[in-house]
Amino acid sequence: MEYPDTTALIVIDVQNDFCPSGALAVDDGDGILARINALTDHFAIRVFTQDWHPADHSSFADNHRNGEAYSTIQMPYGAQVLWPRHCVQGTKGAEFHTRLATDPADLIIRKGFRAAIDSYSAFFENDHKTPTGLAGYLRERGVTDLVMVGLATDFCVRFSAVDGAKLGFGVTVLEGACRAIDLDGSLAAARQEMLDYSVILAA
Ligand code: VGL
Ligand code: ZN
């Protein structure tokens, strides 16, 4: 155990649909599996997240008239990118990657399960208000610091890292164990925002 007992590993959305040949494939998304599998041994507390959408989810382009994947629309809670249909509850695409060792997970937290609102962050839905319950779980277990890895650097990892920092956790993102979508400069913006909130970007 290299990391103190008060540091939790947060593994974000390492699911089939975000890996090559998935519905919302992230370049080299499966290239982080070996590193993540090796990391779990070094943490006393490990939480995995799972993007988990109903079929009628409002983030899916095909649920909107003339909805175009990768375009941005206005939702009551703010701007929302429309995505190809992905991580639909109960489908193969929503399952964790077969080579991801999930037995070490203490907690699997699902998000994005309400049709009307997306949830990139492991802590809050995209209204930045509705909690997932993760902060309470971590605090009750005495966690003060978080190490984050997974997919995608510029969406779910970014929102989770920034929210974690806002909530008072010390947050480190291991960029080498993350991969990005990089939509219109979103990776650079994500890195800058994470740095602005004192998230440590490590290799
Ligand atoms: C994600 C887009 C849509 C992610 C999830 O895990 O980064 N990105 N849903
Ligand atoms: Zn999603």
Q: Which atom of ligand 1 is nearest to the CA of 155?
A: 7
How high is the pLDDT of residue 68? 97
Q: b/e string for 81-116 if b means 16 or more Cβ within 10 A?
A: bbbebbbbeebebbebbeebbbebbebebbbbbeee
Cis, bond preceding 135 (omega within 30 deg of 0): no
Distances 120 to 23, 82, 131 between C-alpha atoms, Å: 17, 13, 12
Side-chain-side CA neighbours of residue 106 (13 Å): 14
- DSSP string across 43-100: -SEEEEEEE-B-TT-TTBGGGSTT--TT-EEEETTEEEE-B-S--BTTSGGGSBPTTS
The C-alpha atoms of residue 64 and residue 58 are separated, in whole angstroms, by 8
SS3 content of the chain, % helix, strand, coil (to 5): 25, 25, 45
H helix or E strand, kind and range, residue 29: none
Given the residues 17, 19, 30, 111, the one annotated as active site: 111
Residues of the chain with pLDDT under 70: 1
- Identify whether 118 is a catalytic site residue: no
- Identify whether 30 is a catalytic site residue: no
Q: Tens digits of per-residue pLDDT, 92-151? A: 999 999 999 999 999 999 999 999 999 999 999 999 999 999 999 999 999 999 999 999
> Which residue from 25, 6, 30, 23 is spatially nearest to 178, judged by alpha carbons?
30
How high is the pLDDT of residue 1? 67
Does the pTM surpass 0.95? The reply is yes
Given the residues 13, 30, 51, 163, the one annotated as active site: 13
CA 60 to centroid of ligand 2, rounded, Å: 8
